Amino acid sequence: MVSRIIPVNEFDLVVFGGTGDLAKRKILPALFKRFCDGQIPEGSRIVGAARSAHTLDAYRDLVAEALSEFAKELARDQDALRAFCEIVHYVAIDARGEGGWADLAGLLKNEVRAFYFSVGPGLFSDLAERLHLHGLTNEQTRVVVEKPFGHDLETAQALNHELAQHFDESQIYRIDHYLGKETVQNLMAVRFGNILFEPLWNAQYVDHIQITVAETVGVGGRGEYYEKSGAMRDMVQNHLMQLLCLIAMEPPSKFDPDAVRDEKLKVIRALDSVQPHHIVRGQYTAADGEASYREDVDNPRSKTESFVALKCQVNNWRWAGTPFYLRTGKRLSDRDTEIRVVFKDTPHSIFGPEAGQHHNELAIQLQPDEGITLKVTIKEPGPGGMRLIDVPLDMSFAEALGPTVETPDAYERLIMDVIRGNQTLFMRNDEVEAAWAWTDPIIRGWEARGDVPKPYDAFSTGPDDAAMMMSRDQRHWRGLGK
Ligand code: BG6
């Protein structure tokens, strides 16, 4: 079989926060998988950097333990695990002082250098400054930063400003892990790799679009972060916004970083300001032995939302008049990320009123069970006249592509894109700021009104008000709970 792996140059990757949760759960397992696939060239180094003192052996043990937990299958191969650990190094570093920087300098050998800031944003500026001070950066340096990128427009602008003091925008990789998901990239393939959909992809033919990102998990151990964030900042401002952009954007002239990001930015800038009656906030209550949101965050009076449903409008020629409904929440009935493009009814029914109303619908299932379903209208078989029914033309990707096709984790793709220097799947400064500029007034409105989220039963489809918001428009939510 022809290898589909695109080779990269040898590189040094420094993970600040190298003993943290993200490093253990996502970054190191992603690197290990790429290593096992032969994509990490000899001579590359992965350097964990954190405050605590660890011997090299102790850090390698920590890495091996993390991989045995978060890359279980592959880590059974002890030789591979050992070989991977050989390229892993460690420095104890003081982000705000001088300790450890000379050691780090001694470890970096390669031209391509990526610095992954897997630490709180409060340290970005210190790290950036010290990297420069110690002469550790070059033309081929990249910095990777995680969400949350700011808490609002002002803080995001401040972060952008701090990073820009030391790095060119072309060196900054802001991660939204949704963009690294294979299924999310598939949205672009479906839209721009087929001629079928594009002529219909506009307000003339599309009645409305729904985007759902539902989770069954609660806020778990992340209560402290989540309580200050809520679903709007945690999910809507970034992940749902990215999905909306990919669905609504104009075809970019090519699949290149700025062409794609320019088009996404135009979508965000064309969004209307959401009216208070077009948005529903919710908070889960206790059920099935699981704690309520307020218990999870240990705040009996919390006003933070674990659910948001909203209606918005992309004000441009393509979409004027076609509403977009977004919804996301924790402790919902199913884990379900999907997009429904609901087409308009035919302009005239030749079959008479008894045929009823029928909408074609394209359902794009992103996770779990990736697939596409096109709902088409056919004649109900049998005698009794022309009765119409809707049936799905179904394509499960697992069935179509075979069960052996493995979907890589988002971080595998994203980290290798950093090494390659490809920013297409990363957010640009103006994109992040535009997303906050849209989100901020909504959140400020809640704060000014002292808005309290509506309670909803855990493992339900969210608060009744979300359903009512739809029924006021003579529409209903699709998917989740069906
Ligand atoms: C993260 C959010 O960015 O995305 C989490 O902070 C959320 O609250 C997670 O659970 C969802 O990601 P995924 O990949 O499980 O859909």
**For residue 258, what pLDDT is reported?**
95
Instruction: Determine the Cα–Cα distance for residues 225 and 236; give it in Å rounded to an integer.
Output: 16
Q: Across the chain, how many H-helices and E-strands are there?
A: 18, 15
Residue 9, judged by CB atoms within 10 A of its CB (0-12, 13-18, 19+), counts as middle
For residue 66, CA distances in Å to 130, 367, 410 come to: 29, 25, 18
Average per-residue pLDDT for the chain: 93
Atom of ligand 1 nearest to the CA of 181: 14
Q: Which two tokens stand for residue 362?
A: 């394209």
Question: Can you tell me the mean pLDDT for 201-217?
Answer: 97
How many Å lie between the centroid of ligand 1 and the Cα of residue 178?
A: 8
Tell whether the torsion through CA atoms of 131, 132, 136 and 137 is positive or negative: positive
Domains of the chain by residue range: 11-146, 179-408+428-472
Cis peptide before 347 (omega within 30 of 0): no
Per-residue pLDDT tens digits for 427-462 = 999 999 999 999 999 999 999 999 999 999 999 999
Question: Can you tell me the mean pLDDT for 335-359?
Answer: 89
| Cα–Cα nearest to 305, from 209, 227, 202, 216 | 227
Domain 11-146 superfamily per CATH:
NAD(P)-binding Rossmann-like Domain (3.40.50.720)
Beta bridge partners of 373: 363, 394
Kindly report the number of other CB atoms within 10 A of residue 324's CB atom.
24
**For residue 383, what pLDDT is reported?**
82
* Percentage of the chain exceeding pLDDT 90: 82
For residue 102, CA distances in Å to 44, 126, 134 come to: 19, 16, 8
Instruction: Determine the Cα–Cα distance for residues 348 and 201; give it in Å rounded to an integer.
Output: 20
State the catalytic residue, choosing from 89, 208, 239, 358.
239
Atom of ligand 1 nearest to the CA of 226: 8
**In the block, residue with structure tokens 């999907």:** 338
CATH no. of 179-408+428-472: 3.30.360.10
Of 174, 177, 331, 332, which is best to mutate to test ligand 1, by the most ligand atoms within 8 angstroms of its C-beta? 177
Of 239, 307, 336, 338, which is best to mutate to test ligand 1, by the most ligand atoms within 8 angstroms of its C-beta? 239
Give the contacts of 169 (CB within 8 A, at least 6 positions apart).
428, 429
Of 215, 227, 296, 330, which is best to mutate to test ligand 1, by the most ligand atoms within 8 angstroms of its C-beta? 215
Coil, strand or helix at 405: coil
Catalytic residue status for 239: yes
Instruction: Determine the Cα–Cα distance for residues 124 and 118; give it in Å rounded to an integer.
Output: 9
Q: Which helix (H) or strand (E) holds 448?
A: helix 429-449
How many Å lie between the centroid of ligand 1 and the Cα of residue 481?
A: 20
Q: Which two tokens stand for residue 305?
A: 């939302």
Atom of ligand 1 nearest to the CA of 213: 16
**For residue 4, what pLDDT is reported?**
67
Q: Which two tokens stand for residue 345?
A: 């009814």
* Model confidence, pTM: 0.94
Atom of ligand 1 nearest to the CA of 367: 16
Atom of ligand 1 nearest to the CA of 178: 14
For residue 293, CA distances in Å to 198, 298, 299, 445 come to: 42, 8, 9, 22
How many Å lie between the centroid of ligand 1 and the Cα of residue 251?
A: 27
Q: Which two tokens stand for residue 385?
A: 């006249």
Question: Is the pLDDT confidence value at 150 over 60?
Answer: yes
Q: For the sheet with 141-145, list strands across it.
A: 88-92, 45-50, 11-16, 112-117, 141-145, 172-174
How many Å lie between the centroid of ligand 1 and the Cα of residue 185?
A: 17
Pick the residue whose CA is nearest to atom 8 on ligand 1: 234
Give first-to-last CA distance, the chain, whole Å.
41
**For residue 1, what pLDDT is reported?**
40
How many Å lie between the centroid of ligand 1 and the Cα of residue 399?
A: 26
Per-residue pLDDT tens digits for 38-97 = 999 999 999 999 999 999 999 999 999 999 999 999 999 999 999 999 999 999 999 999
Pick the residue whose CA is nearest to atom 4 on ligand 1: 235
Ligand 1 cavity residues, CB under 6 Å: 215, 234
**For residue 2, what pLDDT is reported?**
45
Atom of ligand 1 nearest to the CA of 330: 10
Residue 419, judged by CB atoms within 10 A of its CB (0-12, 13-18, 19+), counts as buried
Residue-level length of the chain: 482
| Cα–Cα nearest to 36, from 398, 406, 418 | 406
**For residue 405, what pLDDT is reported?**
66
Q: Which helix (H) or strand (E) holds 139?
A: none
Pick the residue whose CA is nearest to atom 5 on ligand 1: 234
Q: Which two tokens stand for residue 128?
A: 């950036």
Beta strands 307-313 and 279-284 are antiparallel
**For residue 482, what pLDDT is reported?**
59
**For residue 312, what pLDDT is reported?**
98
Q: Contact 377/388 with Cβ under 8 angstroms?
A: yes
Question: Is the pLDDT confidence value at 270 over 90?
Answer: yes
How many Å lie between the centroid of ligand 1 and the Cα of residue 217?
A: 10
Residue 213, judged by CB atoms within 10 A of its CB (0-12, 13-18, 19+), counts as buried
Question: Is the pLDDT confidence value at 398 over 90?
Answer: no
| Cα–Cα nearest to 328, from 132, 479, 156 | 479
How many Å lie between the centroid of ligand 1 and the Cα of residue 330?
A: 10
Question: Can you tell me the mean pLDDT for 167-178?
Answer: 96
Least confident of 85-94, 190-199, 343-352, 455-464: 343-352
Of 235, 411, 414, which is best to mutate to test ligand 1, by the most ligand atoms within 8 angstroms of its C-beta? 235
